[in-house]
Amino acid sequence: MSDIYVPGVKSRFNTEKLIEDLMQIERIPKERTERNIENLETEKGYWQEVGRRVNSLRDSARLLFSFQNPFNDRIAASSDESVITGSATREAVEQEYRFTVKQAAQADRFLSPPLNDSFRVEGGTYTFTVGEDEISFNFRGGTLREFVEALNRRGRDKIAASLIAVERNAKSLLIESKVTGAENRLGFSGDAEQLAIRTGMVEKVNTSRRNLSLDSQSVRISGGEVRAVDETLLVKAGASASIPFNPPAVYDPALVLRLETSTRLISDEDRAAAEPPAGPSVSSAGSISFGGILIENDPSQTPLPQWTPPPIPPRHDNLGVLSLTFSDGTRVFLPPITDSPDFQSREYRLADLAEGKTIAAVNLENNNTHRDVSLRNITLLDPDAQGGFKPVNAVSTAQDAIITMEGIEIRRPVNNIDDLIPGVTLTVKGVSDRPVTLGIQPDREGVKDAIISLAGNYNRLMAEINVLTRNDSRVIEELTYLSADEREEMTKRLGTFSGDSTLNQFKNTLQRAASSPYPTSAERELALLAQIGVGTDVRRSGGGTYDPSRLRGYLEIDEKALDAALAAKLPAIQQLFGSDSNGDLIIDSGIAYMVDSLSRPFVESGGFISLKTGTIDSRISQDQRRIATMERQLAAKEAALKIQYGQMEGAYNRMEQMSSSLDNFVQQNNNNR
């Protein structure tokens, strides 16, 4: 049975193998074309990688001379970042400012004593205020956590609450305003007021606010020219005045004294503008009338000595003009004020000044010779007490940020101040008695990073071109920064475009652009890239051994030299990378400009890289069409071979059947004999 042949199941002569062997020979041209497509795809990828490298170089070059170049960026450098910091825009002017931070802006944050977990909040209408904003909602009653969740849902960006587990099975309720500033005090009314009292968050207090009147009846003048008009007291140079507390203010460590002052400086010319005295008054000499004719006597003559203006007194400046007088007759001077033509608010804590004494009066002794001082809005108050309530445990109290800039006091309700210096946003972080310097200066680190980025992209492009155009494996060994995978990939590319002269020409023009001089404002000292510590051999000190890698055009950076150049010659460095040589306000010179100009024909639409990849795409399309034709021809060839071999096996089978028939016939004849 093993010799039985079943057509389509078993081939007697293994025709499938014969056909496959013949077809393998027929497929050789197709396989060669497929390998050619793979090579073309690889070559296209190499050109695209070159294009990406050129684009990266061009982008880093354009950054150094475009409108958004880092040379125009500004930073704000603080001498103490724990006190005040700043951020500057390109519009900021290079300058140094001196600040003293007296206090940072805060919001009210009130904490209750520990409350048992069983504490329940009664149902009602709970109303809170933050400054002039009101937050009110109805609460049906529930646990502290449910109340906190209800308040947070309705508090928006004005007020928030939380629970702090300060003890086991007990939590403290924290209610806080989210808005800083002295005018944005946290207030309670209605059921919210009762809850604050019930939880021990606030307590009722008697108001202790005292406003001193500044009119001619209440002010005591000690000497000189003093005027009291519209609740403003003007004390001229050399004059003194006292404003009594009636009755005297009893000491309370929570009280603060608030007032506003302004000054007017007097020049020496104004002080010297004195007129001579009018002299004695002499009565008329008389007259007589006769015959209708009036005859007057000669006037009396009073010879006066020549008038000599009084000498200008020596200048005396003293800003410590304010003091407090106590009921026991002692006195303490308040911290000096600052010169300002506008009224500046000032605040003094009695705990730092009064030492338990009763205050009898506020004094202004203007012993200056060239300064008038004005005073208004004198108030003694407890800043924590509001509406007859005072927080028992205030985590923080609403207050403004108070800073002095160049001796001028500034008050703002927030810690981010963006309306004081054009183009600069200040951030108050802490209090300091010592002045902190904030310098607005160019972003030299940003410029340095941009230059390093340009050099890095330049070197990566040079390495790509060297690997593609040379068959020397040393060009890869010199690239010590490559990873193992990158090194292996570079090895595959080695010498792929060794016959392409365009890349070598491009490399040479880039090298000439990097080493050529360019006009700058400091041309004698700075005209070359190497003069800022960037060049092909800037780190080798005289002589040295031969290093072929230094001839490949890679840029090196001497960071110390670059930092020194950026510190001393920043405007000239900007011109070195991009400048306007003919005054038409268009950049037309500089290293970065030249690199961009040389790179543009390679990567622009229809440029060299685009033409290269387009040509490769055309060749790939041609080969793909050729492969499609070959596949049709191979399919026809294989079908023909199968038919031919099928016919051959059929003929053989018929011949075998005829042979068997003949053998059977002969055998039968033999048997018959």
Give CA separation, 434 vs 106, 144, 279, 348, 431, in Å. Answer: 21, 45, 56, 18, 9
For residue 571, cis peptide bond before it (omega within 30 degrees of 0): no
Contact 69, 59 (CB under 8 A): no
Say if 477 falls within a structural domain.
yes
Say if 609 falls within a structural domain.
no
pLDDT of residue 3: 47
Rounded to two decimals, the pTM is 0.70
d(C-alpha 606, C-alpha 433), whole Å: 65
| Of residues 48 and 356, more confidently modeled | 48
Q: Are residues 46 and 136 in the same domain?
A: no
What are the respective helix, strand and coil percentages of the chain, to the nearest 5? 35, 25, 35
Q: Is the pLDDT of residue 2 over 50?
A: no
Last residue of a domain, one of 601, 618, 644: 601
Q: Specify the range with the lowest mean pLDDT, choosing from 216-225, 526-535, 626-635.
A: 216-225
Type of residue found at 25: I
d(C-alpha 21, C-alpha 407), whole Å: 98
**Cβ neighbour number for residue 230 with a 10 Å cutoff:** 7
Can you read off the two tokens belonging to residue 232? 């403003």
Say if 196 falls within a structural domain.
yes
Last residue of a domain, one of 180, 204, 228: 204
Q: Are residues 231 and 250 in the same domain?
A: yes
Last residue of a domain, one of 204, 232, 251: 204
Q: What is the mean pLDDT of residues 203-212?
A: 76
Q: Are residues 326 and 461 in the same domain?
A: no
Could you tell me the CATH number of the domain that includes residue 376? 2.60.120.430
DSSP per position, 116-146: ETT-EEPPEEEEEEETTEEEEEEE--EEHHH
Contact 410, 428 (CB under 8 A): no
Q: CB burial class (10 A; 0-12, 13-18, 19+) of residue 299?
A: exposed
Q: What is the mean pLDDT of residues 604-630?
A: 92
In DSSP terms, 109 is beta-bridged to 176, 396
Q: Are residues 137 and 53 in the same domain?
A: no
Say if 431 falls within a structural domain.
yes
pLDDT of residue 5: 46
d(C-alpha 347, C-alpha 279), whole Å: 50
Q: Are residues 215 and 238 in the same domain?
A: yes
Q: Which residues contact 11 (CB under 8 A, 6 or more apart)?
A: 649
- 139-190 pLDDT tens trace: 999 999 999 999 999 988 899 999 999 888 899 999 999 999 988 999 998 8
d(C-alpha 574, C-alpha 585), whole Å: 15
Identify which of 380, 333, 347, 371 has the alpha carbon closest to the alpha carbon of residue 235.
371
Q: Are residues 135 and 213 in the same domain?
A: no
Can you read off the two tokens belonging to residue 182? 């002295």
**Cβ neighbour number for residue 385 with a 10 Å cutoff:** 20
- 105-147 pLDDT tens trace: 999 999 999 999 899 999 999 999 998 899 999 999 999 999 9
d(C-alpha 238, C-alpha 241), whole Å: 11
Q: What is the mean pLDDT of residues 289-313?
A: 72
Q: Are residues 84 and 117 in the same domain?
A: no
- 580-594 pLDDT tens trace: 988 888 999 999 999
DSSP class of residue 541 equals -
| Of residues 653 and 313, more confidently modeled | 653
Type of residue found at 15: T
DSSP 3-state assignment of 627? helix
Q: How many residues does the chain have?
A: 673
Say if 480 falls within a structural domain.
yes
Q: Is the pLDDT of residue 656 over 70?
A: yes
DSSP per position, 151-180: HHHH-TTTEEEEEEEEETTEEEEEEEES--
- The total of structural domains in the chain comes to 4
Say if 606 falls within a structural domain.
no
DSSP class of residue 352 equals G
d(C-alpha 519, C-alpha 577), whole Å: 10
Contact 451, 530 (CB under 8 A): no
Q: Is the pLDDT of residue 642 over 90?
A: no
Q: What is the mean pLDDT of residues 338-355?
A: 86
pLDDT of residue 250: 86
Q: What is the mean pLDDT of residues 42-67?
A: 94
Give CA separation, 346 vs 319, 406, 431, in Å. Answer: 13, 16, 16
On average, the pLDDT of the chain sits at 87
Q: Are residues 323 and 262 in the same domain?
A: yes
DSSP class of residue 384 equals T
d(C-alpha 6, C-alpha 474), whole Å: 66
pLDDT of residue 4: 47
Q: Which of 7-16, 308-317, 387-396 has the highest mean pLDDT?
A: 387-396
pLDDT of residue 139: 94
For the CA atoms of 461, 462, 467, 469, the dihedral, rounded to the nearest 10 degrees, stands at 110
Contact 593, 578 (CB under 8 A): yes
Q: Which helix (H) or strand (E) holds 467?
A: helix 444-469
Q: Which residues contact 574 (CB under 8 A, 6 or more apart)?
A: 69, 71
Q: Are residues 58 and 181 in the same domain?
A: no
Counting residues of the chain whose pLDDT is more than 70, the rounded percentage is 91
Q: Are residues 117 and 194 in the same domain?
A: yes
DSSP 3-state assignment of 232? strand
Q: Which residues contact 622 (CB under 8 A, 6 or more apart)?
A: none
Type of residue found at 94: E
Q: Are residues 87 and 117 in the same domain?
A: no
Say if 639 falls within a structural domain.
no
pLDDT of residue 208: 66
| Residue numbers of the domain that contains 359 | 209-268+316-334+344-381
Q: Which residues contact 235 (CB under 8 A, 6 or more apart)?
A: 224, 226, 241, 321, 364, 366, 372, 373, 374, 375
Say if 587 falls within a structural domain.
yes
Task: Count CA atoms within 13 Å of residue 612 on its CB side.
Answer: 23
- 231-244 pLDDT tens trace: 999 999 989 999 99
Type of residue found at 336: P
Q: Are residues 372 and 501 in the same domain?
A: no
